[in-house]
Amino acid sequence: MSVLTARLHARRARRRARSARAGSAVVVVLAVLLALGAADAPAVALVPGTPADPAALAATPPMGVNDWNAVGCTDAFDEAWVRAQADALVSTGLRDAGYRYVNLDDCWAAPQRDTAGRLVPDPVRFPNGIAALADYVHARGLRLGIYTSAGTLTCDARGFPASLGHETTDAASFAAWGVDYVKDDDCSTAGTDAVARYTTMARALRATGRPMVFAVCDKGSSAPWVWAPGIAQLWRTTHDVADDWASVADIIRLDAAVAGRSGPPPGRGWNDPDMLEVGNGLTPAEQASQMVVWSMLSAPLLASTDLSRGDPATLALLGNRDLIAIDQDPAARPPTVDLDEATGRLVLRRVLADGSLAVSVTTLGDAAVTVPAGVSGRDLVDGGRLLPGAVVAPHASIVVRGG
């Protein structure tokens, strides 16, 4: 096993442990928030007439690339790697298919703030700074995203400086650097209220006057789909994804349970079941299933693999225009969800803006399922003809779109 692989496995084990601890609080927090009602959530005063009005941001689910599941906090994560992803989005045609964000995750910052209290890019990983990287990305028709945490330290074991108590300063830095997207994680929060923490950062970002998509990343522990509309454009609904089917299937169940909360901001926002593992350790059928279900759920499509080394199958799946059209459908109507836990068959149905119906059948379990009555047509993934009663293999998906 290579050093890089070993580090990634260790990181994923730590990540699953954090997610398990956070998951125990979800039910309690959700019950409290539902009892209070969404109307009792703090309102965020928007700056009238500014381009940072949420109505102008993320009208469809964001699409792009994030480094974390590909290289994490290893030495491979640096300016050259990020630039290579930007170049690959262009050269592979993924930019023109809708993938526009190049998002940095944890470990981009130096271990200490400067004497003025500002975040500093790691001088080894990013010797030219974040502003120069943003210029590089923008010159290719792309947008730059950055990572922080709504706590005192970020989530990596080394704990880089995060934004709790520094929201105004950090938002100003992000705006000055030309950042277009901010992912705000939830580590080292010192027991502070999630709604208050994320509302403070949302206000700070808007006050800069620069349009920046705001992504709440508390793993669903505070039920952000209840309170975050009007505060953020998207929010994580689940624990971190891993490149194994058990993780993906669990996330599908969790995200599908709140599918009705997803829709265009500012009235709603996008449920985020975490990044795509397409190109990583899943089987080809499992990768296709993740892409299918994420598209049917109007989830952000954020690849997290090395696109500069992507094989043709990976690039073809990420660039599947039929699936992207479903994900980016402007009507953004949530699907109906029919999950048979006895068989593991998940059927999602979405009426699209043109009146057509998209239907997917996914096998979450380890035994094959059959296509239900009323579902027929050509599979948008492999082009095969589907008829009711056809078999869908374990961990696989089919998806059709008809009139």
Cβ–Cβ < 8 Å for 145, 182: yes
223 three-state secondary structure: coil
Q: Judging by beta carbons within 10 Å of its beta carbon (0-12, 13-18, 19+), is residue 376 exposed, middle or buried?
A: middle
Q: Which two tokens stand for residue 93?
A: 């045609």
Q: What is the DSSP string of 3-32?
A: HHHHHHHHHHHHHHHHHHHHHTTHHHHHHH
**Active site members:** 185, 240
| CA distance to 270, 332, 379, per residue, from 353 (Å) | 17, 8, 20
Closest to 309 in 3D by CA, of 280, 337, 331, 285: 280
> Which residues pair with residue 147 across a beta bridge?
183
H-type helices in 109-187, by residue range?
129-138, 167-177
Q: Give the count of alpha carbons within 13 A of 327, CB side only.
A: 28
